[in-house]
Structure 1
Amino acid sequence: MRLLWPSLARLSAIGERIVLIAPPYIPYPQAWLAAGVDLRQLVVIEAGPRDALWAAEQCLRSGSCGAVVCWPGMVDDRALRRLQVAAETGQTLAFACRPQQAAANPSPAALRIAIDTRPAQLRVLKCRGGLAPPFPIPFPTDA
């Protein structure tokens, strides 16, 4: 979440709603506060895999959220395309946190990043409109 927190904090500061759908863990409020996110703008939706996709699509399409972060699990590219179209329709930022195994599957996403923990680095898998760097980018591990 450290990569997303600066953007989410800016959105919440201007009153935009941030929706977390089917997070794998209960969000720790103190961490979100420390990152600058206004907790009054944070909504958590607990849902199973099918309901998570439906909830994400509705939140994205509505245009009433600044950003939607969802954990859809292993889904096909058609479901991801529906989320992409919903995000474009609602002019909402969409982030899909997927399992590492999904990196090999196609996706309509404009930007795809894989995060490795050992060593701490990220790999740009896809970058629409530009070339993805051919090497991993070290990720700072300091707090």
Structure 2
Amino acid sequence: MGAVVALDRLLDGRQVWRGPARQGQASDHLASGHPALDARLPGGGWPASGLCEVLQAAPGVGELALVWPALAKLSQRERPIVLVAPPYRPHAPAWAAAGLDLAQLQIIHAAPKQALWATEQCLRSAACAAVLCWPQQADDRALRRLQVAADSGQCLGFVFREARAARNPSPASLRLQLDHGQVRVLKCRGGLPPAQPLPLAIAH
């Protein structure tokens, strides 16, 4: 058996490379406000920046209640939260009741072809706290551009798409599927998704 050597001696002799100290995970992630989900996500919540893809059978199955707690926190940072081409008019009292500062809420009405471009510009601008979009069509290339833009602009992006998109790969940092009060983690950067869906108490 080889001799035991103190780690300090190896470090002092530059025989072992010391990596940079990791920053606290709290700065890299934002609590979702749903403890059951946070417990299963790497870092304990949404990525602080990056693209999160939420797949759903139809609008109105609880996707906004899923993201509202985090958006409420972000709205206190006095940076806009942008909604690009939402499928219906946001109900301001519901957003306010969820704790969001409505003064930070901005809506961009864009045609389908311009919605992805507008989303990319907002994500890349470094001026927004979060960007939400509902693209009618988005292929892998378009989603990759959004992911890169979110990382570049240090912005949290949410893309809401139909559940059938699950059959195609996605470059998003996090990919969830929401259905009937349950959320299934399909992909999470930095960890393995749980095998079973998670029950969430969210209002539709």
| TM-score > 0.5, shorter chain as reference | yes
Runs of at least 5 residues in structure 1 that lack an aligned partner in the other structure? none
| Cα displacement string for residues 9-46 of structure 1 (whole angstroms, at most 9, x for unaligned residues) | 11111212100001111000000000110111000111
How far, CA to CA, are the matches of 2:162 and 2:151 in structure 1?
A: 24
For the residue of structure 2 that corresponds to 1:43, the secondary structure is strand
Q: Which one scores higher on RCO, CA 8 angstroms, separation ≥ 6?
A: 2
- The answer to whether structure 1 residue 24 and structure 2 residue 87 are counterparts is yes
1:79 to 142, 164, 173: 142
Query: How many pairs align?
Result: 141
2:199 to 131, 134, 138: 138
Q: Quick one: percent identity of the two aligned structures? A: 59
How far, CA to CA, are the matches of 2:103 and 2:117 in structure 1?
A: 24
Alpha-carbon offset, residue 141 of structure 1: 4.5
The list of structure 1 runs, each at least 4 consecutive aligned residues, that deviate by more than 4 angstroms after superposition, is none
How far, CA to CA, are the matches of 1:141 and 1:96 in structure 2?
A: 19
Alpha-carbon offset, residue 129 of structure 1: 1.4
Runs of at least 5 residues in structure 2 that lack an aligned partner in the other structure? 1-63
Does the Cα contact within 8 Å between 1:21 and 1:71 map onto a contact in 2?
yes
Partner in structure 2 of residue 122 of structure 1: 183
Let me know the Cα RMSD of the aligned residues. 1.3
Does the Cα contact within 8 Å between 2:77 and 2:129 map onto a contact in 1?
no
Alpha-carbon offset, residue 88 of structure 1: 1.0
Alpha-carbon offset, residue 74 of structure 1: 2.9
| Cα displacement string for residues 84-138 of structure 1 (whole angstroms, at most 9, x for unaligned residues) | 1111111111110111111111110111000012xx2111111111111111111
Q: TM-score, length-normalised on structure 1?
A: 0.94
CA shift in 2, pair 1:14/1:126, >3 Å: same
Alpha-carbon offset, residue 139 of structure 1: 1.8
Q: TM-score, length-normalised on structure 2?
A: 0.67
For the residue of structure 2 that corresponds to 1:55, the secondary structure is helix
How far, CA to CA, are the matches of 1:95 and 1:141 in structure 2?
A: 17
Q: Which has the higher Rg, Structure 1 or Structure 2? A: 2
